[in-house]
Structure 1
C-alpha cells in the first residue's frame, strides 16, 4: 500500500516504487480518459467498457485514499513487458515523468504460456478492460460475455458458441498463431539479453548502488 511507504521518504538513500499489479493497458487507458481522450500517435485504444460495476464503493474509496500518497512515488513497476505493451508504458512515461519499468509478466504468462487462445469472461475490477487488451489489441482471445451484459444469465448456447469460436473457426487458428508468437516474445524478453531481463538488471543495479 502506498500509505505504508510514506515514512521511507525520510530515510537516507531510499526510494519508493509503486508496483502496478494490473497491465499497463488498463492504467494508461484510465489516465488517457482523464486527459479527455486525446489523439496519441502509436497508442491503440479500441472501444472500452465502462468502469461502472467494476469495483465496490468501498474499494474505490480505498484506492482514492491511497492515491494521496503517490506523491512520494519515485517510479512505477508494471505487470507487463515492453515487447507486448511498450506503447502503453511509453505513454505513462510521457504523462508521469517517473521511471516506468515493465518487469512483471505474471498475468501474461498465466494466460499465454502454453500458446493457446483465451476465453475472456470479465467479472470485476480491471478484468473488463483487460479483456479488451486480450481480444482487441493482442487478438489472442475471444469474449465470452460482454461487460454491458454482465447482469444477464449466460445460456448454455452462449458458452458453447464461445468454445466453438476458440476451437473450430478460422479466427481461432489465427488467435492461436498470435498466441504462440506472444509466448515466444514473452520468453525471449526474459532470456539473458532480453528487454525485461535487462530492465530488471538495471533496476537491481540502481536500487543496490
Structure 2
C-alpha cells in the first residue's frame, strides 16, 4: 500500500479511515460535521453516514466553513420511512417528542452501518468509528471488525454528563461542590424518550475514549473528575472543542450581516432558541414586547422547530404582534429562515445572546466571547444554563427552571435584556466572556486525539 494517495485532489494517508455516525438531530449532526471538517484537514479519510434526508440537512446548514463535499465522503444508508409530525407548541413538555419517529428509524442503521464498516475495513490499517452516544445501538457490532476501534462522542457538556450520572446515583456528595446546587432535573425529558435512551444505554460498551466538544478552560474540573472515577466507563477523555469555526471561512454573505456592519460594537443582542423550540403564540407576543420595550438592538431568529425530515412539507409560521416589525424596524431584524448563528456571534456588533442554552449555542457563544441570557427549555439545557450562569459567570437568567411551564412575561424579558446589554453587571459578564473566549484553543487535545488515532 503506498504511503499516500489522493481523494478529490487532496493528499491523504491510507492507513486510517474515520467513520462518523451522528444522531439525526441538528445539534448532533452539526457538531459531528464540524469535527469531520477538522479531521479532514489533517489528511484523514472521513466518511459521514446517515439517511439521505439528514445528510442533506447537515450539508445545507453547515456554516462558517466552505463546502465540505470535496473533503468528506457522505454515504446515504437506508432507513425505513417514518412519520413526520409537526411540532406541538402546546405540549406539556418542551422536549421535541415529534422527532422520536426519526430517531426510531435511525436505529435501523445498525445493519447498513455494519455492512459499510465491513466493506471499508480491508482498505485501511485502522478503522476509527466516532459515534454519537445516542447511536450506541447502531454501532454495537463493531467488535466483530478486528481493525476497528470506537470513540463515543458526547454532544452535551461534561458538566451535564456528570450531573446526569450523579442525579441517577441519588446525588451523593461529589468532590465538585457546586453540583449540589444544581436544581432538580425533573421535567427535562418526557417518559417516551426513556425507551430510546434505555435502548442505547443497554448497548453501550466501553469505547476507546470519550470525546467532548469542550475544553479544559471551561470544564477542566469536571473532565478531570470523570477521568478519575471512570464515570462513563472510561478514563480517557479528549476535550477537542470548540468544534465550531473560530475564524470564519464561508464566502456566503447574508443581508443581516450587512445590517450588523452598521451597528456599534457590542450593541446588538442575538435572540435564538435553536432547532427544537416551539413557542406558543402568547409567549412569542411577550417576547416581542419585551424586546421592543428594552430599546436594545436585536436580531431575532424566529422559526418553527425542526421536523424529523425538514424537507417534508411546510411548517407553522410563528405570528408576531400586529405592527411589531414596523415599530422596531430601525433597531431590530427578524430572521425567519435558517440563520448563520456562528457568523452573527462572531460579528463585533453582537454583544449578547438570548438562548435556550443548547451546547452548540453555548460553545459558539463562549468561543466568540459573547455573554448570554439563559432561557433553557429541555434536556441538557437547564444544566448548561446553570454552568454558564452560576459557574462561569457569563450569563443572566431570563427565568428559573422551576417556572418553565409558565409564559415568561414581557417585563421579565425586558429586564433580562437590559441587565445583559445595558447594566454594569452585563458589562462585567461581557468582559469575562471575552477573556474566556480568548483563552480557548482546540489545538492541544485535538492534536493529541489525531496523534492517538493515527499512531
Please say whether Structure 1 and Structure 2 have the same fold, judged by a TM-score greater than 0.5.
yes
Farther off after superposition, 2-11 or 17-26: 2-11
> 3-state SS of the aligned residue for 1:200?
helix
Give a deviation string over 1:19-42, Cα, whole Å, max 9, x none: 000011101112223344344445
* Mapping 1:101-112, distance limit 5 Å: 101-105=238-242, 106=244, 107=360, 108-112=362-366
Number of the residue aligned with 1:175:
429
Specify the alignment match of 1:58 in structure 2: 192
Q: Where does residue 194 of structure 1 map in the other structure? A: none
* RMSD across aligned positions (CA): 1.8
Q: Which runs of 5+ in 1 are unaligned?
A: 191-196
Deviation at 1:72, TM superposition (A): 4.1
1:70-85 aligned at under 5 Å gives the runs: 70-85=204-219
Aligned equivalents of 2:431, 2:236: Cα separation in 1: 33
CA deviation profile, 1:81-123 (whole Å, cap 9, x unmatched): 1111011111111222431111132434412243221010001
Q: Tell me what 1:203 maps to.
A: 449
Return the TM-score normalized by structure 2: 0.42
CA–CA distance in structure 2, aligned partners of residues 42 and 185 of structure 1: 22
Match of 1:193 in 2: none
3-state secondary structure, aligned to 2:238: strand
Residue 130 of structure 1 corresponds to: 384
CA contact (8 A) 1:46 1:132 kept: no
Indicate the residue corresponding to 2:158 in structure 1. Answer: 24
2:438 match: 184
Superposed displacement of residue 66, structure 1: 0.3
Number of matched residues? 201
1:146 equivalent in structure 2:
400
Superposed displacement of residue 148, structure 1: 0.5
User: 1 or 2 for the larger relative contact order (CA 8 Å, sep ≥6)?
Assistant: 1
Q: Within the alignment, does 1:98 sit opposite 2:235 as a pair?
A: yes
CA-CA distance at 1:139 after TM superposition: 0.7
Q: Which moved more, 1:50-59 or 1:129-138?
A: 50-59
Q: Normalising by structure 1, what TM-score?
A: 0.88
Per-residue CA deviation, residues 129-151 of structure 1 (Å, 9 max, x unaligned), is: 11000100001001101110011
Residue equivalent to 1:7: 141
Q: Alignment partner of 2:188: what SS? A: coil
User: Against the structure 1 CA distance between its residues 109 and 30, is the aligned structure 2 distance closer, same or farther, given a 3 Å change threshold?
Assistant: closer
Q: Which has the higher helix share?
A: 1
**1:46–1:136 Cα contact (<8 Å) kept:** no
State the distance in 2 between where 1:167 and 1:155 align: 19
Task: Give, in angstroms, the shift of residue 46 of structure 1.
Answer: 5.4
Q: What whole-Å deviation, never above 9, does each CA across 1:55-86 have from its counterpart, x for those lacking one?
A: 22222221111011222422210121111101
Question: Does 1:121 find its partner at 2:375?
Answer: yes
Task: List alignment gaps of at least 5 residues for structure 2.
Answer: 1-134, 245-359
Corresponding residue SS for 2:139: helix
In 1, Cα distance between the equivalents of 2:194 and 2:428?
38
Corresponding residue for residue 183 of structure 2: 49
